[in-house]
Copies of this chain bind each other. A is one copy, B any other.
Amino acid sequence: MNRILPVALVQHRDRGSREANLAHIAEQVAGAADAGARLVLLQELHNGPYFCQQEDPALCDLAEPIPGPSTEFLGQLAAEHHLVIVGSLFERRAAGLYHNTAVVLDADGALAGRYRKMHIPDDPGFYEKFYFTPGDLGFRPVDTTVGRLGVLVCWDQWYPEAARLMALAGAELLLYPTAIGWDRNDDGAERQRQLAAWQTIQRAHAVANGMPVLSCNRVGFEPSALASDPGIDFWGHSFVCGPQGELLAEAGTEETLLLSEIDLDRSEQVRRIWPFLRDRRIDAYEGLLERYLGE
């Protein structure tokens, strides 16, 4: 009898206020529970817009402590529906010390753990290095009633190192709250390459580590306050894949409650036919701790 875990991903647009976003999330989580989900993944910074399109110190007012009002809200929701929720918050740790932090609320509503985003991007439109101190908790999975969760955040998804470290620490699945989208200045071919690359690398984490991956992205256009930036079309396409990288469910670019089921025991079989962890050349990987191996 395999451990089948019904999961749900809440892909939505920014609905204009913290209250409106949390109300939408509450409604979607209720729907997920009705459908039998026992784990719900939310998108990155789901309480508001993706505010990192500009560097404005006043926006740090959006940050909140953890535990705090949002973990309390999500914890109540988790307990009410007896399911695990993975959320994504702007954490205020101290004056001038903020993180991009994922939180895990267990099915009894307790804060089971947190993950502070380790890899911080900084690209036109994504000025995260201004706001977010790189995480200092490392790549530690969070134990919950539905399994050991390897929670990572957005930019981490481009790093095989992060996925591998979660796998080595015993994570049973990987989860990525995400906020990624297109630059309106890019043409259709470039947009397609970017979306495919984003999906490909995350499916590859599933393959390399023989574990399911869940990735939840936002949708909708969010304008920039900067005249030099065109705003972001968040591309959605949240998905769930199994331990061979096979797609189990995939959203489009509309608001979606994406439902799927993952088989947590299938990893054992997949890793037996492809025992990658057995053959890692840990004696020859020192270079991975270097920035570069040339000059």
Write the residues of chain A forming the contact surface with B, with a CB cutoff of 8 angstroms.
118-121, 123, 134, 138-139, 155, 158-162, 164-165, 168-170, 193-194, 196-197, 200-201, 203-205, 207-208, 244-246, 273-277, 279-282, 284-294
B197-A245 in contact (CB<8A): yes
Which residues of chain B have C-beta atoms less than 8 A from A118's C-beta? 281, 284
A168-B292, A170-B293, A282-B289 known; A159 vs B208 contact (CB < 8 Å): yes
* Further contacts, 9 of them, CB under 8 A, given A138-B287, A139-B284, A285-B289: A123-B274, A161-B280, A161-B285, A165-B285, A169-B293, A197-B207, A200-B245, A277-B292, A285-B288
Contact B245 A196 (CB under 8 A): yes
Chain B residues whose C-beta falls within 8 Å of the C-beta of A194 in the assembled complex: 244
B residues less than 8 Å from A121 (CB atoms):
279
Main secondary structure of the interface of A (DSSP, over half): helix
Q: Decide: A286 near B284, CB < 8 A? Known: A245-B197, A246-B196.
A: no
Contact A160/B197 with A120-B279, A155-B279 known, Cβ cut-off 8 Å: no
A205 neighbours in B (Cβ, 8 Å):
204
Q: What number of copies of this chain does the assembly contain?
A: 2
Chain B: CB-nearest residue to A242 = B193
In the bound complex, do residue B200 and residue A287 qualify as a contact, i.e. CB atoms below 8 Å apart?
no
CA distance A132 to B128 in the complex (A): 47
Q: How far is the CA of A193 from the CA of B205 in the complex (A)?
A: 15
What chain B residues lie within 8 Å of A200 (beta carbons)? 200, 203-204, 207, 245
Residues of B within 8 A of A275 (CB): 123
Residue of B169, B280, B285, B291 near A282 (CB, 8 A) is: B291
* Cα–Cα, bound, A121→B277 (Å): 11
| 27 A-B residue pairings within 8 Å (CB atoms) | A121-B279, A123-B274, A158-B276, A159-B280, A160-B208, A161-B164, A161-B281, A164-B288, A165-B285, A165-B287, A165-B288, A168-B290, A168-B291, A169-B287, A193-B245, A194-B244, A196-B244, A197-B246, A200-B200, A200-B207, A277-B292, A282-B288, A282-B290, A285-B289, A286-B289, A288-B289, A289-B289
Q: Name, among A123, A165, A277, the residue most crowded by chain B CB atoms within 10 Å (CB to CB).
A: A165
A138 partner residues in chain B, CB cutoff 8 A: 284, 287
Residue from A161, A170, A291 whose CB has the most chain B CB atoms within 10 Å: A161
Query: In the complex the two chains form, what is the Cα distance from A293 to B170 in whole Å?
Result: 7
A284 / chain B contacts, CB cutoff of 8 Å: 118, 138-139, 165
The answer to whether B274 touches A158, judged by C-beta atoms less than 8 angstroms apart, is yes
Q: With a CB–CB cut-off of 8 A, which chain B residues contact A170?
A: 293-294
Which B residues are CB-close (under 8 A) to A274?
Answer: 123, 158
B contact residues around A244 at 8 Å (CB): 193-194, 196-197
Which of B119, B155, B203, B287 is in CB contact (< 8 Å) with A139?
B287
